[in-house]
Amino acid sequence: MITDRVAAFDALYRDDADPWSTSERWYEERKRGLVLASLPKRRFADAYEAGCGNGNLSVELAARCDVVEASDASREALVRAKARPALPPNIRFVQHLLPADWPDRAYELIVLSEVLYFLAPADIDSIAARVGLYARDADTVIACDWRAPIEGHSLTGEEAHRRFGRTLAQATLCEYIDDDLIITVWGRDARSLAVREGIR
């Protein structure tokens, strides 16, 4: 079933370099802006982005991180991502099939954009456990997902976030919800941004 899903994504990217119009739709641009604005720090040493697709968010993350490791299960998506013009040199694109290929190391920032609701519940638990195992004190995890039910997926984005958060067992730093999407940020440092910066 997983290999069938990867083959379907490969076919999508072979036919269209941007199958969800992430470069053209205001919805997608706004979503990336919301993800970046939700981060509790201006800059991170390193980030791991799962499900990078054609790399639109990866490029924007590269402006906020010293190093970005961006992965996708689709080889065709990665071909598109690597072919982007003026690609920042601090991005490394790799093919990972989750959860099996989740990296065995810590990152200061982990980004799961439009990833969790694609996964089986047990796979969500597995990734959350791996993230918790390698977490550092300053780690931040952010997830963004579509809220509406999708045929063939057992969980909505909101349900996937709740499940991930229960297994991760870190503080919820902030959450944004509208009719279409949910963004949740977790971290080990539960202090607010104002407290971190000495404003209160």
- Give Dmax (Cα) for the chain: 52
Q: What is the CATH number of the domain that holds 29?
A: 3.40.50.150
Q: 168 lies in which domain range?
A: 2-196
Q: In what order do the strands lie in the sheet with 181-187?
A: 91-95, 65-72, 44-50, 109-113, 140-146, 181-187, 171-177
* Chain Cα centroid distance, residue 1: 22
Q: Determine how many CB atoms are found less than 10 A away from the CB of residue 14.
A: 15
Selection from 49, 51, 53 nearest residue 12 by Cα: 53
pTM of the model: 0.93
Domain tally for the chain? 1
Note down pLDDT in tens along the chain; length 200 residues.
556 777 887 787 887 878 888 899 999 999 999 999 999 999 999 999 999 999 999 999 999 999 999 999 999 999 999 999 999 999 999 999 999 999 999 999 999 999 999 899 999 999 999 999 888 776 999 999 999 887 777 899 999 999 999 999 899 999 999 999 999 999 998 999 999 999 99
